[in-house]
Amino acid sequence: MVAESTASPREQAAASFDALYADLHPIGRDPATGGYHRFVYADEELTLREWFTGEARARGLDVHEDRGGNIWAWWGDPADGDAVGTGSHLDSVPQGGPYDGPLGVVSALGAVDLLRSRGVQPRRPLGLVAFADEEGGRFGVACSGSRILTGALSRERALGLTDEDGVSYGEALRRTGRDPESIGRDDEVLGALGTFVELHVEQGRGLIEHDAPLGLYTMIRPHGRYRFDLLGRADHAGATRIQDRDDPMLTQAELVLAARRAAERHGAVATVGRVLVEPNGINAIPSRVRAWLDTRADEEATVRAIVAEVRDAIGVEPFEEMWTARVDLDLDLMERLDGVLGGIPRLPSGAGHDAGIMATAGVPTAMILVRNPTGVSHSPDEHAERDDCVEGVVRLADVLEDLLR
Amino acid sequence: MVAESTASPREQAAASFDALYADLHPIGRDPATGGYHRFVYADEELTLREWFTGEARARGLDVHEDRGGNIWAWWGDPADGDAVGTGSHLDSVPQGGPYDGPLGVVSALGAVDLLRSRGVQPRRPLGLVAFADEEGGRFGVACSGSRILTGALSRERALGLTDEDGVSYGEALRRTGRDPESIGRDDEVLGALGTFVELHVEQGRGLIEHDAPLGLYTMIRPHGRYRFDLLGRADHAGATRIQDRDDPMLTQAELVLAARRAAERHGAVATVGRVLVEPNGINAIPSRVRAWLDTRADEEATVRAIVAEVRDAIGVEPFEEMWTARVDLDLDLMERLDGVLGGIPRLPSGAGHDAGIMATAGVPTAMILVRNPTGVSHSPDEHAERDDCVEGVVRLADVLEDLLR
């Protein structure tokens, strides 16, 4: 009977997981690459919102959208307070993978199914959340949904953001029937939450090296994004002698190599992933190259040092487009989860998460990560094994059962 | 009286030049930068064609479009053969300057005015030409008009070219009422031409250093365009350790610096002016970077050597997208022009020209260049002084008068 009862939650979790993912699988998928394009308030993401709302209602949960555009599905009444929140996001980067975000939402729904079958009667309200726009793939600011919810992103700044087609955040809200004036910090939701747990696929190789299916994040590394505007003089590629040139592409090349050297020296990461060249003609020396540097380290001072070294190497002052301070996740909560999960690996997160925004807003927060056997993220090659995902659903249910007592 | 008759052609030339440029000035001009956007068969270029046709007809010339889409305006009957051709192009690169191309067309019209006022009766037909698409700014192949005219670009290949919006060359022809099936080598026009002279603004600093308003091009440097497809692995900019990365932006940086080193070593030029990054996200290690290398030198072997050195430096084989052999302009014709113009500087051209295509097709061809006081080209900063332009009109008229005897 012991073997039977141990096997059964896994089978139930597997059934929930398979059914939920089968519906998610085709939405926003590029058939040529297998990558996903799911941008906030675009058609694919609206379909995902309908899907989440439908699944939540089918489970008898009360669905409600907060003032940041994030969807909450409540088991119990959040007005009772000290609620447990769990979930993740449904949006993706361009050509993103299938698990970055949706795995946490699917696991939350699957965990509710397990808790129900175990006959758990929550003593605290449980809120399942699908955050809007964790990746910032459309408007450029990551975690805009949770940042608006917590007030970290003001209404004025949010409404002024624009996508590549020049559509503003406000216009995108309006087109989907939302009132741009109603967005902002949502004290009702924030005040209700006593605990937050996000489950997320790992975005590196940490759990591969630990040979473990699950882990806990201890902190989110500090993170800066910088834009360098490299100015030169447009000129003819054939008729302008080398000594007469002022070619900003050379500075861009030096920037890329200087950033790599600095990251290696500091044991950190630095990436130039976005470059825009003007006029970008084959036979034209560019007039301007804009290059973005994304850099992260364990310590904030290290991030600052890397940027300073790059700046000194090329002699150009960057614009700081985004700064995210280091977020230490809640140690007491981590210990409590560890008690349930039984001594699993602890790792820092190199990527940002909505959970980090919630923690910064003062909600005691933990993160569970699920092994990614390719170690690759933000790519169609991102992956998670079904067995590990099912283990994640079961263990998330265990954690929630403990927290809801 | 001598002073009077010397001043008079300059005054006439200045009047023609000012009147013609006043009409040209606003067409396709970006008011923010002063740069021009005039792409073949787009609205602005169609307006320029109407302008040229109108000016030619106002001078009683017979206007006719050849099978390459180039407009010819004839003084005399081309069927008589051994005609003199002169002119240049009206299209521009993105954010191009006001003189690259139009100066040669305006000067041809102004020279006809002068020849008329001098009472010249041509013994050979004179054809004024506005070439279509010298820059290749829309479909990527430079000199497509003259290349189709001479058969250097086949109908099949031309019709398959597409612009950034996916519109094909054939579709662009159709939209402007032209029959795509009718394009191709035009033996009637080619057979009529006995001589070709193109006047063009200089695209470098040669005449500044010679302190001379006009010069002659001796040859057009050989020129190769190469695309490097740099492949890596898309991954998360925050979560992927430096040692786990396969980042093609590093290869792009090495390519840019290797190309510069090779060009300096060989006393040639090499430019990476166009770079496309995928997915081009701030927080994504790129999956692919495509970079284009444009390189030119006096000798073809030098161009080949530079490309080989870049290839060896980065270990990636390029695709040759375009190869233009060295073009030596006609030495007898050059001597004849020099006799008229009186010992002016001779320089190689680092840029390609329709005149080079005509020369390659066997038409004895010369080029007159006009000083560019900024030395800058393919940029709103390109310039020519009015005095130098007027001198160009007068001296082109002198050359044509000599050739038409």
Closest-CA distance, A356 to chain B, in angstroms, reads: 14
Q: What confidence tens digit (pLDDT) does each residue in B12-28 have?
A: 999 999 999 999 999 99
Taking residues A31-56, report their average pLDDT.
97
Closest-CA distance, A316 to chain B, in angstroms, reads: 17
- List the single best residue of B37, B249, B302 to mutate versus A (max A Cβ within 10 A): B249
User: Residue B274 is nearest to which of A205, A280, A350, comparing CB atoms?
Assistant: A280
B287 pLDDT above the threshold of 80: yes
Cross-chain residue pair A225–B256, CB shorter than 8 Å: no
DSSP B296-346: E-SSHHHHHHHHHHHHHHHT-PPEEEEEE--EEPPHHHHHHHHHHHTS--E
The sign of the dihedral angle between the CA atoms of B126, B132, B137, B139 is negative
Cross-chain residue pair A256–B253, CB shorter than 8 Å: yes
Chain A to chain B Cβ contacts (< 8 Å): 238
Query: Does the N-terminal peptide bond of residue A98 adopt cis geometry, omega within 30 degrees of 0?
Result: no
Cross-chain residue pair A223–B236, CB shorter than 8 Å: no
Q: Is A184 left (phi over 0), alpha (psi -120 to 50) or beta?
A: left
Q: How far lies A181's CA from each of A92, A132, A226, in Å?
A: 26, 17, 30
A264 CB neighbours in chain B (<8 A) are 242
**Residue A227 to residue A321: CA distance in whole angstroms:** 7
B351 CB neighbours in chain A (<8 A) are 236, 238-239
- H-helix segments, A165-220: 169-175, 187-192, 206-210
B380 CB neighbours in chain A (<8 A) are 234
**Residue A150 to residue A184: CA distance in whole angstroms:** 8
B369 pLDDT above the threshold of 50: yes
**Residue A363 to residue A129: CA distance in whole angstroms:** 15
B4 pLDDT above the threshold of 50: no
A277 pLDDT above the threshold of 90: yes
Residues near B98 by beta carbon (within 8 Å), at least 6 away in sequence: B21, B24, B25, B36, B382
- How many Cβ atoms sit within 10 Å of the Cβ of residue B245? 18
Closest-CA distance, A388 to chain B, in angstroms, reads: 20
Q: How far lies A109's CA from each of A20, A25, A57, A104, A127, in Å?
A: 9, 16, 11, 9, 11
Residue pair A209/A91 in contact (Cβ under 8 Å)? The answer is no
Closest-CA distance, B328 to chain A, in angstroms, reads: 16
Closest-CA distance, A286 to chain B, in angstroms, reads: 6
**Residue B252 to residue B258: CA distance in whole angstroms:** 10
Q: What is the SS3 string spanning A317-376?
A: CCEEEEEECCEECCHHHHHHHHHHHCCCCEEEECCCCHHHHHHHCCCCEEEEEECCCCCC
Residue pair B298/B221 in contact (Cβ under 8 Å)? The answer is yes
- List the single best residue of A208, A271, A369 to mutate versus B (max B Cβ within 10 A): A271
| Closest chain A CA to residue B321 | A282
Cross-chain residue pair B94–A279, CB shorter than 8 Å: yes
Q: What confidence tens digit (pLDDT) does each residue in A222-239 have?
A: 999 999 999 999 999 998
**Residue B314 to residue B309: CA distance in whole angstroms:** 9
Residues near B52 by beta carbon (within 8 Å), at least 6 away in sequence: B71, B73, B90, B105, B130
Tokens of A22: 């089968």
Q: Using 50, 70 and 90 to split pLDDT, how confident is the model at A164?
A: confident
Residue pair A105/A198 in contact (Cβ under 8 Å)? The answer is no
Taking residues B353-381, report their average pLDDT.
96
- How many Cβ atoms sit within 10 Å of the Cβ of residue A11? 10
Query: Does the N-terminal peptide bond of residue B364 adopt cis geometry, omega within 30 degrees of 0?
Result: no
Q: What confidence tens digit (pLDDT) does each residue in A289-330 have?
A: 999 999 999 999 999 999 999 999 999 999 998 888 999 999
Cross-chain residue pair B283–A204, CB shorter than 8 Å: no
Residues near A48 by beta carbon (within 8 Å), at least 6 away in sequence: A24, A27, A28, A38, A90, A91, A102, A130
Taking residues B141-163, report their average pLDDT.
95
Confirm whether the ipTM is greater than 0.90: no
B274 CB neighbours in chain A (<8 A) are 277, 280-282
pLDDT of residue A375: 92
Q: What confidence tens digit (pLDDT) does each residue in B76-96 have?
A: 999 999 999 999 999 999 899
A269 CB neighbours in chain B (<8 A) are 237-238, 240-242
B294 CB neighbours in chain A (<8 A) are 237-238, 282-283
Taking residues B174-185, report their average pLDDT.
97
Residue pair B212/B267 in contact (Cβ under 8 Å)? The answer is no
A36 pLDDT above the threshold of 70: yes
pLDDT of residue B130: 98
B319 pLDDT above the threshold of 90: yes
pLDDT of residue B322: 85
Residue pair B190/B150 in contact (Cβ under 8 Å)? The answer is yes
| Domains of chain A, start order | 9-221+330-403 (3.40.630.10), 224-324 (3.30.70.360)
| Closest chain B CA to residue A274 | B280
Residue pair B170/B182 in contact (Cβ under 8 Å)? The answer is no
**Residue B232 to residue B250: CA distance in whole angstroms:** 10
pLDDT of residue A1: 33
Tokens of A384: 């998670």
Helix axes A248-266, B248-266, angle to 10 degrees: 130
Q: What confidence tens digit (pLDDT) does each residue in A119-136 have?
A: 999 999 999 999 999 999
B3 pLDDT above the threshold of 50: no
A223 CB neighbours in chain B (<8 A) are 238
Q: Using 50, 70 and 90 to split pLDDT, how confident is the model at B164?
A: confident
B7 pLDDT above the threshold of 60: no
Residue pair B285/B245 in contact (Cβ under 8 Å)? The answer is yes
Between strands B288-296 and B223-231, the pairing is: antiparallel
pLDDT of residue B6: 52
HSE of A214, CA atoms in CB hemisphere, 13 A? 25
Tokens of A128: 């399942």
User: Residue A283 is nearest to which of B233, B252, B294, comparing CB atoms?
Assistant: B294
CA proximity to A147, closest of A156, A160, A139, A158: A158
Cross-chain residue pair A277–B280, CB shorter than 8 Å: no
A112 pLDDT above the threshold of 90: yes
What average pLDDT is seen over chain A?
Answer: 95
pLDDT of residue A8: 82
Closest-CA distance, B233 to chain A, in angstroms, reads: 8
Q: What is the largest CA-CA distance in chain B?
A: 84
Closest-CA distance, B264 to chain A, in angstroms, reads: 7
